[in-house]
Amino acid sequence: MKKSILFVVLGFFVQTLVLSQSCLPEGITFSSQEEIDSFQINYPGCTEIEGDVTIDDYGITNLNGLNVITSIGGYLNIYDNSNLSSCTGLENLISIGGYLNIEDNDKLTNLSGFDNLSSIGGSIAIIDNESIKSLTGLNSLNSISGDVEIQSNDSLTSLAALESLNAGTIENLNISYNYSLTSCEADFLCDYLTSPDGVVIIHHNGSGCNSIPEVANNCAITLPCLPYGNYYFYSQEEIDNFQTIYPNCTELEGDVMIWGENITNLNGLSVLTAFKGNLRISSTSLTDLSGLENVTSIDGEFYLYDNDSITSITALNNLTTIDGYLVIKGNHALPSLSGLDNLNYVGESFVVRLNDILTSLNGLGSLTYIEKDFRVEYNSSLISFLGLENLTSVGENIEIIGNSSLNSLSGLESLTSVEGWFVIWHNDALLSLSGLDNITSIGMDFFIDENESLVSLMETDKLESLGRHLYVSVNVALTQLSGLGNLDTIEGGLFIIENTSLTSLS
């Protein structure tokens, strides 16, 4: 009798070991329904997967064969399963060591099946599941160690299932492009906004969840100045309410986007003195930038583009430094860059492009150095470079392209060196290179191409060194090369091609 009892105890112990076995340290990918169904046969006793798990195939319709799994040591990626309608089968899953990604599963309507999942060791991403209406199934989730990204789920209406999630375990937050999402005042989100620890992105959702201020209002909280940004202004109302929603915010961390045809003024931003990230102002009905008079610096990029009504940027008169790119593009009513008069430094590239009535670069008198590229392209009314009289050097390349009214380069007289290439191409009215009178060195190629009215290169007579090739091609009015006589160092080749009026190389 004692032996029988011993055998029973030993049998129970062995069975327990089999039923709670860790396995698959290299992870596993399920690429068919058959592999799901055969999992317990192929890996008997496998309940704790040590590695990563990927479930990815249009033929997978259910996860029932995985109902013994209690933990996953790596990530769980449920991706592009167009016929998976439920996560039933994962009811015993308690923890995931890495991230959880649920993406592009067209038939999922909720997340039932994750009912006992309590912790995720990385981020959670729920992206582009077009039929998912709720996150029901994640009700037991209380901690993560990363980001929350809920994006592009067209049918999602509520975040209520995440009520138990501890906001203190969230790093960054992105809730965007969920066009039916109108209920965002879940406890985890309200708690996170009270004291955010990372980047907050909330926009392009349904009414009530369409912006950070909307969610804060529904949560009945006053927002701090966001420690890492980002700020999205898509309506005049959001501009007007800025100082109420964010009291005492004068320096904005992170990125700022101002976009929308109904935005007509920026007066609500008049308390701002600095942008610590990128600033983009696009597709507005602004006529000027009034409201930005106190801004002295932009630590990231500044993009002013596709604002059809803007006629003045004089409100930027106190701006002295831009550490990133400066791009002024597609502002078809902007006649002048006056307002940038105190700007003395651009840390990346400076691009002036497709501004139809811009006639000069007046307003840039304090700019002495551009760290990277200087590109002036397709400004159809630009006549000269007047306004840049103090620019002495460019750290990388200059490109002057397709400015159909440009007749000279006057304004560049202080320019002595270009570290990269210098391109002068397809400027149909350009008669001479007047303005390049003091340039002595170009670090790479010098292109003078397809300028149909150009007759002379006389003004380049101080150019002494060229780091690579010289191209002079298809300038049909060019009659002589005088001006290149002092060029005594060309590291590359000399290419003089199809200048049909050129009769002498002297």
In this structure, what token pair is assigned to residue 12? 């129970």
Residues 6+ apart with CB under 8 A from 287: 264, 309, 310, 311, 312
pLDDT band at 489, cuts 50/70/90? confident
Q: What are phi and psi of 128, to 5 degrees?
A: 60, 40
The total of other beta-carbon atoms located within 10 Å of residue 397's CB is 21
CA distance 457 to 389: 20
Whether pLDDT at 11 is above 80: no
| Vertex 350 angle, CA 349 and 353, to 5° | 125
Contact present, 435 and 457 (Cβ < 8 Å)? no
CA distance 94 to 266: 49
Q: Is 118 helix (H, G, I), strand (E, B) or coil?
A: coil
Q: Is 199 helix (H, G, I), strand (E, B) or coil?
A: coil
| pLDDT on residue 15 | 42
Q: What are phi and psi of 334, to 5 degrees?
A: -90, 115
Q: Could you tell me how many residues make up the chain?
A: 506
| pLDDT on residue 217 | 86
465 beta partners: 441, 489
pTM for this entry: 0.77
For the chain, the average pLDDT equals 92
| Vertex 491 angle, CA 420 and 371, to 5° | 15
Q: What is the mean pLDDT of residues 53-69?
A: 96
Q: What is the mean pLDDT of residues 160-164?
A: 94
pLDDT band at 345, cuts 50/70/90? very high
Whether pLDDT at 355 is above 90: yes
β-bridge pairing 76-79 and 53-55? parallel
Q: What is the mean pLDDT of residues 80-106?
A: 97
* Domains present along the chain, CATH in parentheses: 17-224 (3.80.10)
Q: What is the mean pLDDT of residues 356-362?
A: 95
Whether pLDDT at 55 is above 70: yes
Q: Tell me which amino acid residue 441 is.
A: S
In this structure, what token pair is assigned to residue 355? 């501004």
CA distance 92 to 73: 14
Q: What is the mean pLDDT of residues 443-449?
A: 96
Whether pLDDT at 49 is above 90: yes
Q: What is the mean pLDDT of residues 473-490?
A: 88
Q: Which of 366, 297, 306 is nearest to 338 (CA)?
A: 366
Q: Which residues of 436-452 are buried (b: 16+ CB within 10 A; e: fewer)?
A: bbbbebbbbbbbbbbbe
Q: What is the mean pLDDT of residues 183-212?
A: 90
| pLDDT on residue 1 | 44
Q: Is 9 helix (H, G, I), strand (E, B) or coil?
A: helix
CA distance 146 to 173: 9
**In the 8-state DSSP scheme, what is residue 206?**
S
Which of 31-40, 50-59, 219-228 is the least confident region?
219-228
Whether pLDDT at 485 is above 80: no
Whether pLDDT at 113 is above 80: yes
Contact present, 424 and 447 (Cβ < 8 Å)? yes
Q: Which parts of 105-168 fold into alpha helices (H)?
A: none
pLDDT band at 319, cuts 50/70/90? very high
Q: What is the mean pLDDT of residues 155-176?
A: 96
| Rounded (10°) angle between helices 187-194 and 212-219 | 110
CA distance 162 to 328: 43
Distance of CA 59 to the CA centre of its chain: 35
CA distance 188 to 166: 6
CA distance 151 to 132: 11
Read off the pLDDT of residues 220-234 as tens digits, 9 standing for 90 and up: 888 878 877 678 899
Q: What is the mean pLDDT of residues 3-19?
A: 40
| pLDDT on residue 481 | 86
Whether pLDDT at 149 is above 50: yes
**HSE of 64, CA atoms in CB hemisphere, 13 A:** 6
Contact present, 228 and 209 (Cβ < 8 Å)? no
Whether pLDDT at 480 is above 90: no
| pLDDT on residue 21 | 80
Q: Which of 53, 59, 66 is nearest to 32 (CA)?
A: 59
For 22-63, the three-class secondary structure string (H helix, E strand, C coil) is EECCCCEEECCHHHHHCHHHHCCCEEEECCCEEECCCCCCCC
pLDDT band at 7, cuts 50/70/90? very low
Whether pLDDT at 6 is above 70: no
Residues 6+ apart with CB under 8 A from 244: none
Q: What percent of the chain has pLDDT over 70?
A: 95
CA distance 100 to 75: 6
Q: Which of 298, 279, 180 is nearest to 232 (CA)?
A: 279
Q: Tell me which amino acid residue 248 is.
A: N
CA distance 426 to 453: 10
Read off the pLDDT of residues 379-428 as tens digits, 9 standing for 90 and up: 999 999 999 999 999 999 999 999 999 999 999 999 999 999 999 999 99
Q: Is 167 helix (H, G, I), strand (E, B) or coil?
A: helix
CA distance 141 to 166: 9
Which of 144-158, 239-253, 343-357, 369-383 is the least confident region?
239-253
| pLDDT on residue 13 | 37
